[in-house]
Structure 1
Amino acid sequence: MSGIYLHIPFCKKACHYCDFHFSTSLKNKEPLLKALVQEIILRADEFKNKTVKTIYFGGGTPSILDVDEIKNIIKTIRQYYKVIEIPEITLEANPDDLTDDKIKELAQTEINRLSIGVQSFGDKELQMMNRAHSSEEVKQCLHTATQYFNNITIDLMYGIPGLSNEEWKQNIQQALKFGISHISSYALTVEEGTALADFIKKGTYPVINESLAAQHFDILVNTLTQAGFDHYEISNFGKPNFYSKHNTSYWLGKWYLGFGPSAHSFNGNIRSWNVANNAKYIKSLLENSLPSGQEILTVKDQYNEYIMTGLRTIWGVSLEKVSQDFGIKTSIFLEKQIQPFLENGTLMLKQNQLKTTQKGKFLADGIASELFWV
């Protein structure tokens, strides 16, 4: 399975915690979309022997796009790439963009999955994050969206200072009332260069409490698993048949192409990325030049990535695959490194598959780093 990712680098407002590439100015929207279409055309040969099964509009805030702009991008992909008849096509969207009319228009396109950036059902938390929507807009948009789309995922954020365990439970329960079939949930983290990092340094915002985040994570896992969700990746919960096909392809090491400024691509052993600058991106594509850099992943790099992604998913890490793909020496190294984690109950080994236990899930990234071949 191969996928296409489209980075739409525009937002109405800058969320205080976000370090993704975006601009709050729309003045270059039209030339950037022309450049994006040109990149799609120029790179068609990279996927000449691949079949596209997923298309993902990310950002930024892709719901800023007009429906006709979305249709034109999909049309271009279909014209230059081999795409299955009904691919999974996801559009990331903010609740304030999803008016009743916009939802109805999107339902008439090939978009068949909405990823809605709810983050919280509480106005206090939304204002703290500098989100552009209110809790009332969240509820209204979900009320309408669930009538037109049966495949909806929402983002929720936990570990927010001042958010009690009971308030966090209410957030999750509110999502379940709408019959949502997939939830992605992330701990609030502090990234350098963001407004949140600056606020914390100045003492105007509380320091992030990892203990609180761990409590929220346990509540999240217990509540959603009891509600019939599979915890198939550390931050992702889906009901059967509603896993994200696009993101799953990332975690399983499938090929993907990323279009747009800052977008990444992967072809098995080479990772490439576009310049994270809208003006430079546009200028380069106007000259029919690809504004990208790349790195060839060493065997060690590929092993480390497999460990990192594998331990985050229900599929885990196959010791047989490690031996076959990375050699006996690496296999012996891994078996030695995992012993302390097997003993402390954060990892388990069943039928040659290494997975995190419930105790180890919140610690998965830290555990993986201890198993890296440095």
Structure 2
Amino acid sequence: MAGIYLHVPFCKQACHYCDFHFSTSLKYKDQMLDAMLRELELQKDYLKGETIETIYFGGGTPSVLSADEVNSLINRITQLHSVSSNAEITLEANPDDLGREKINALRQTPVNRFSIGIQSFFDEDLAWMNRVHRAQEAEASVKRAQDAGFENITVDLIYGYPLLTDSKWKHNLETVFSLGIPHVSAYSMTVEPQTALAAFISKKKQPPMNEQQSAEQFAYMLDAMQRNGFEHYEISNFCKPGHYSRHNSNYWKGVKYLGIGPSAHSFNGDTRQWNIANNAKYLQGLSDNTIPAETEILTEADRLNEYIMTSLRTVWGLDLNKLDSIASGASSTLMKIAEEYISQGKLLKNANVLTLTTEGKLYADAIAAEMFF
């Protein structure tokens, strides 16, 4: 099995915290779609005939596409690949794009899952982030999608930023629970270089993020999610039973995937490939029937480290036997470091699987980095 990711590099405006690749001009949208269709053709053999189990429209803001444009990309994929009859097909969307007419049009496409970028249910927070939508639109978009028959919905939330008091964070979570949303992705606000937020902080126009606040809001979320029947299956992801993100879960499990569009990444088990993060150069390359991408052949250490980083973030954990299948004897080397974290109560070892404890989840990236080869 395998997945396909489509990077749609357009947004109506730039969120202050975002460092993903996008353009706020839709001038070249038609040319971009043509180029992505062409790249699908050129990349048709990358996955070597694997059945496509998931398709994911990310960005940027894929909901700037019309239903017909979304269909054109899905149709090309089905022409070039064997697509599972129960494939998960996700479209990331902003609430302001999900009017009733748009949702009903998307209902006529194979899209069967929405990922809605809500971030907060407070207008002042959304304005601080420079989001286009407002709180009322966020709730309304979810209800409209549900009314149209979309049951598989996930929403994004952000915590750990100065405006978000603990009472507001509790309200955001309670609103999600009340809406009957079966999946939540929640991220601590991070300050990425070369973003507006980083510039504001460096110029003392905004206070820096508070790690203690983030840790406390994360801990509250873990408890609230558990009380409301959600499983914490990856550091930033929670779901009701049976509502895992199949596409993202496959990333964490090392399943092959093909990335289409500027800045998109691909992985086939042995190599990693990434397209240029420049719309004009991407369009020029595809106009010449070449893919403007770089390729890296993964070393044994690369494969070990990638497995450590991704698996340790999940409820399924790090399988020591799988580690040894990548490199003989790797598990004994890793366990010399892991034993310290087990004694500190940050890791659990059950048979041959290592998983993070609740406390360990606060240090997930640091623990993984200590174990790298």
Q: Fold match, TM over 0.5?
A: yes
Output the CA distance in 1 between the equivalents of 2:43 and 2:164.
46
Output the CA distance in 2 between the equivalents of 1:365 and 1:216.
18
Per the TM alignment, residue 42 of structure 1 is displaced from its structure 2 partner at its CA by: 1.0
Output the CA distance in 1 between the equivalents of 2:179 and 2:261.
33
Partner of 2:255: 254
Matches within 5 A, 1:46-57: 46-57=46-57
Per the TM alignment, residue 340 of structure 1 is displaced from its structure 2 partner at its CA by: 1.4
Corresponding position: 1:71 with 2:71: yes
Output the CA distance in 2 between the equivalents of 1:346 and 1:284.
48
Output the CA distance in 2 between the equivalents of 1:247 and 1:143.
24
Per the TM alignment, residue 49 of structure 1 is displaced from its structure 2 partner at its CA by: 2.0
Letter in 2 for 1:178: L
Per the TM alignment, residue 86 of structure 1 is displaced from its structure 2 partner at its CA by: 2.6
Aligned 8 A contact 1:159 1:210 in 2: yes
Corresponding position: 1:296 with 2:297: yes
C-alpha RMSD over aligned residues = 0.8
Output the CA distance in 2 between the equivalents of 1:311 and 1:153.
23
Secondary structure at 1:6 match in 2: strand
Greater Cα offset, 103-112 or 257-266: 103-112
Partner of 1:89: 89
Per the TM alignment, residue 165 of structure 1 is displaced from its structure 2 partner at its CA by: 1.1
Letter in 2 for 1:235: S
Partner of 2:80: 80
Partner of 1:5: 5
Partner of 2:190: 189
Output the CA distance in 2 between the equivalents of 1:80 and 1:331.
40
Letter in 2 for 1:5: Y
Letter in 2 for 1:352: N
Greater Cα offset, 268-277 or 139-148: 139-148
Structure 1 residue runs without a partner (length 5+):
none
Per the TM alignment, residue 323 of structure 1 is displaced from its structure 2 partner at its CA by: 2.1
Aligned 8 A contact 2:9 2:59 in 1: yes
Partner of 2:150: 149
Percentage of matched positions with identical amino acids: 51
Output the CA distance in 1 between the equivalents of 2:164 and 2:239.
24
Partner of 2:171: 170
Per the TM alignment, residue 325 of structure 1 is displaced from its structure 2 partner at its CA by: 2.1
Partner of 2:21: 21
Aligned length: 372
Output the CA distance in 2 between the equivalents of 1:165 and 1:46.
47
Corresponding position: 1:238 with 2:239: yes
Output the CA distance in 1 between the equivalents of 2:139 and 2:239.
20
Aligned 8 A contact 1:316 1:354 in 2: yes
Secondary structure at 1:281 match in 2: helix
Matches within 5 A, 1:302-313: 302-313=303-314
Residues 273-300 of structure 1, C-alpha deviations (whole Å, 9 max, x = no match): 0010011111111111111101111111
Secondary structure at 2:315 match in 1: coil
Corresponding position: 1:121 with 2:144: no
Aligned 8 A contact 2:47 2:268 in 1: no
Residues 199-226 of structure 1, C-alpha deviations (whole Å, 9 max, x = no match): 0000011110000000110111110111
Aligned 8 A contact 1:230 1:240 in 2: yes
Per the TM alignment, residue 311 of structure 1 is displaced from its structure 2 partner at its CA by: 0.9
Aligned 8 A contact 2:5 2:257 in 1: yes
Aligned 8 A contact 1:10 1:22 in 2: yes
Secondary structure at 1:362 match in 2: helix
Letter in 1 for 2:248: N
Per the TM alignment, residue 266 of structure 1 is displaced from its structure 2 partner at its CA by: 0.1
Per the TM alignment, residue 48 of structure 1 is displaced from its structure 2 partner at its CA by: 3.7
Letter in 2 for 1:355: T
Residues 328-373 of structure 1, C-alpha deviations (whole Å, 9 max, x = no match): 1x22210101121011100110111101001111211111011111
Secondary structure at 2:91 match in 1: strand
Letter in 2 for 1:68: D
Residues 216-254 of structure 1, C-alpha deviations (whole Å, 9 max, x = no match): 101111101111111000000011110000000000000
Aligned 8 A contact 2:201 2:208 in 1: yes
TM-score by length of 2: 0.99
Output the CA distance in 2 between the equivalents of 1:361 and 1:324.
26
Partner of 2:336: 336
Structure 2 residue runs without a partner (length 5+):
none
Letter in 1 for 2:369: S
Letter in 1 for 2:98: L
Letter in 1 for 2:3: G
Aligned 8 A contact 2:256 2:268 in 1: yes
Output the CA distance in 2 between the equivalents of 1:49 and 1:141.
37
Aligned 8 A contact 2:49 2:81 in 1: no
Aligned 8 A contact 2:126 2:134 in 1: yes
Residues 95-131 of structure 1, C-alpha deviations (whole Å, 9 max, x = no match): 0000111111111110000000000001111000000
Aligned 8 A contact 2:191 2:197 in 1: yes
Aligned 8 A contact 1:146 1:178 in 2: no
TM-score by length of 1: 0.98
Per the TM alignment, residue 162 of structure 1 is displaced from its structure 2 partner at its CA by: 2.7
Letter in 1 for 2:312: L
Secondary structure at 2:46 match in 1: helix
Q: Which runs of 4+ in 1 moved over 2 A?
A: none
Output the CA distance in 2 between the equivalents of 1:230 and 1:141.
24
